[in-house]
Structure formats: C-alpha cells, structure tokens
C-alpha cells in the first residue's frame, strides 16, 4: 500500500512553466495548498493527509509543486530569479491557469509566507488564509533584517545526498514520528532532478542581493501590509517545532492581532503531517463558513 492515496496528480502550463500539482475533489470552493522549502518538498509529500480530507469535506484542493521543487519545470526559464516573489508570482500563474476566480490558501513554513504575500498582492482572489509554523513569516515581519538572509539548504546542512535529506526530515519531526521510506525516496528523487540545484542557486543568489540592496527588502517585507490585511486568517503552530520554535509563534501572535492562533501539543514543524486529524479539523472548520456561503440555498 502506498502512502500517496486519495488524490490525483496532473500538470498544467502556468505562464510557460510546466507545473505539477496534486489534487482531490471535483466540486466546492477551491483551496490552494503551499508546501515548505525543504529539499524534495512537493504538494503530494506535504499535503497527502489534507488533500483527501478537504475533498471529503466538500472542497476542491490543489497542492502545487512550487518553483525549484517537486516535479515542476526546473529549466532556466522557471528558476526563481527574484526569490520568494518568483514563488508568489508562480502561484498566481497556477491559479490563473486553472481559471479559479477565488481561492482560500493553506501554507506551511515558507509556503505560509507565499500564501500571505499572494493574499497581499491579490486580495480580490482570496477568501481565507491558514498559516502553519513559519520562520519565514516572522523574518519578513521585520522592518530591516534581524540577520542576513542565508540559504536554507546551507542552514540545514543539505548536500543533495540521501543521508542529508534523511537527517533533515527526522530533525524536522517529533521524536515519535516514523517517516515512510517511500516518502524519503520520493523527496530524494525530486531534489536531485536535473536543474534543481541550479534553480536553488538562482534563489539563493537573489537572497544575497537582498542582503546588499535594502530596496529589495521592501518587496519581501510584510510588516506593514499583513497586519492590515482584511482577509480572515488562522495560524497553526506545533509546540514541539524545532525548525520554527514555538516562541516565534508567540511573537507573531503579538504582531498579528487580526489572525487567530492555535498551538498544538506533540506536534513539530510540519503540523499537517505530524497531527493530521487535529490540523485537518482546524482547517476544515475555519473554511466551513466560506463553503456554506458558497452553496446556494435549496
């Protein structure tokens, strides 16, 4: 039995980028799921539990493989040459390619920042946003960088070997978590595809530019714009998160008075796979009002 059941996989051409995504559900409001930045990250790996749960609850769920990750195009024209904003723009192109008028967003880690920035850039497209454990969002809530931005892969000691990926994935989980070998192999294959390393280098090169050119920080920063966002938000944080410590979550709670926060016990950085039943319920309940509004009265 495979761990990747209950959803489908497809490709769509999003502004010239052959984009891979996993999906479940054929009717109801649309929900876009945005994974984090770890090596080999992809929609299927990050959202394998939430995709079928959202479909069962009456939503259409789409987990896109973002630029430089998963099975999405890694040729030079698809490299994220303006860093996080490239990821945001790609998500916009993906939503447009699927002809979705309005969406809700759920993002984990770096994907939470991408969700927030997309909502800021395109508020007319977004109904609600769920954020899950994110250092990137806290970093982007600073007026100026607290420290220089660094390559995430360098920070975690990833060198494109299976051993370093395995070490990262276990460090990213709670002590009780057993990571399926199928998942490790899927992510290793995705992380070592032709063009991925060069795509990551293009992303990191832009981070280096942000460190040297303060005007670029202004595009990345969401300190002023996110607290003013009128779109309902929910933030979920694992109390045992070792990548984005829970203390960071409490700091963000003070900065984001317009967002509801939920903190979960026995849960690490990827809350949606550490405690899927709890997180799925939080997300579905939060989105349910929007779903009810979207269904015409009989």
Q: What is the DSSP string of 121-140?
A: H-GGGEEEEEEES-HHHHHH
Report the alpha-carbon distance of residue 120 to residue 266 in Å, rounded: 32
Report the alpha-carbon distance of residue 121 to residue 155 in Å, rounded: 29
What pLDDT band is residue 136 in, cutting at 50, 70 and 90? very high
What pLDDT band is residue 130 in, cutting at 50, 70 and 90? very high
Residue-level length of the chain: 298
Check residues 244 and 179 and name the one with the higher pLDDT: 244
For residues 8-27, give the mean pLDDT.
Answer: 98
Report the alpha-carbon distance of residue 170 to residue 168 in Å, rounded: 6
| pLDDT attached to residue 147 | 74
DSSP string, the chain: --S--S-EEEEEEETTEEEEEEEE-SSSSEEEEE---STT--HHHHHTTHHHHHHHTT-EEEEE--TTSTTS--SGGGS-TTTHHHHHHHHHHHHHHTT-S-EEEEEETHHHHHHHHHHHH-GGGEEEEEEES-HHHHHHTSSS-SS----HHHHTT--S-HHHHHHHHHHTS-TT----HHHHHHHHHHHTSTTHHHHHHHHHHHHHHHHH-HHHHHHH--TTTTTT--S-EEEEEETT-SSS-HHHHHHHHHH-TTEEEEEESS--S-HHHHSHHHHHHHHHHHHHHHHHHHSPP-
184 token code pair: 């490790």
Q: What is the CATH number of the domain that holds 258?
A: 3.40.50.1820
Any domain includes 15: yes
249 token code pair: 């979550």
Any domain includes 241: yes
Is the per-residue pLDDT at 116 higher than 90? yes
Contacts of 110 (CB under 8 A, 6+ apart): 36, 37, 84, 87, 134, 136, 152
pTM: 0.94
What's the pLDDT tens digit per position in 60-99? 999 999 999 999 999 999 999 999 999 999 999 999 999 9
How far is the first Cα of the chain from the last one, in angstroms, to the nearest whole number?
A: 41
Any domain includes 236: yes
Any domain includes 289: yes
For residue 70, give its domain range: 8-294
Any domain includes 2: no
Any domain includes 61: yes
What's the pLDDT tens digit per position in 162-176? 999 998 888 777 767
- Report the side by side order of strands in the sheet with 17-24: 8-14, 17-24, 60-64, 30-34, 103-108, 126-132, 233-238, 259-264
- Domain tally, the chain: 1
Any domain includes 128: yes
| pLDDT attached to residue 291 | 52
Any domain includes 3: no
- The residues with which 20 forms a beta bridge, in sequence order, are 11
Check residues 169 and 23 and name the one with the higher pLDDT: 23
For residues 193-210, give the mean pLDDT.
Answer: 96
| pLDDT attached to residue 294 | 45
Asked whether the beta carbons of 112 and 118 are under 8 A apart, the reply is no
CA angle 173, 183, 151 (to 5 degrees): 60
Sign of the CA dihedral with 81 first, then 102, 223, and 135 last? negative
């Amino acid at each position: 039995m495979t761990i990747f059941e209950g959803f489908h996989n497809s490709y769509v051409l999003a502004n010239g980028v052959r984009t891979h995504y996993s999906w479940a559900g054929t009717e109801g409001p649309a929900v876009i799921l945005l994974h984090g930045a770890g090596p080999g990250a992809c929609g299927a790996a990050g959202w394998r539990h939430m995709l079928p749960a959202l479909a069962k609850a009456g939503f259409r769920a789409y987990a896109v493989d973002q630029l430089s990750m998963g099975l999405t195009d890694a040729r030079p024209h698809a490299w994220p040459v303006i860093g996080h904003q490239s990821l945001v723009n790609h998500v916009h192109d993906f939503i447009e390619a699927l002809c979705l008028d309005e969406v809700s967003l759920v993002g984990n880690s770096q994907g939470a920042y991408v969700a927030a920035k997309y909502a800021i850039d395109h508020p007319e497209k977004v109904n609600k946003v769920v954020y899950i454990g994110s250092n990137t969002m806290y970093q982007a809530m600073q007026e100026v960088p607290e420290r220089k931005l660094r390559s995430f892969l360098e920070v975690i000691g990833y060198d494109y070997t299976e051993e370093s990926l395995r070490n990262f994935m276990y460090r990213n989980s709670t002590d009780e978590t057993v990571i399926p070998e199928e998942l490790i192999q899927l992510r290793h294959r995705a992380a070592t595809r032709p063009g991925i390393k060069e795509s990551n280098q293009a992303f990191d090169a832009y981070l280096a530019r942000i460190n040297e050119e303060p005007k670029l920080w202004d595009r990345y920063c969401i300190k002023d714009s996110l607290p003013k966002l009128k779109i309902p938000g929910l933030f979920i944080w694992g109390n045992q998160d070792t990548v984005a410590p829970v203390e960071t979550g409490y700091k963000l709670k003070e900065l984001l008075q317009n967002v509801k926060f939920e903190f979960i016990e026995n849960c690490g950085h990827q809350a949606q796979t550490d405690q899927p039943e709890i997180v799925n319920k939080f997300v579905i309940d939060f989105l349910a009002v929007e779903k009810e509004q979207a269904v015409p009265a009989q």
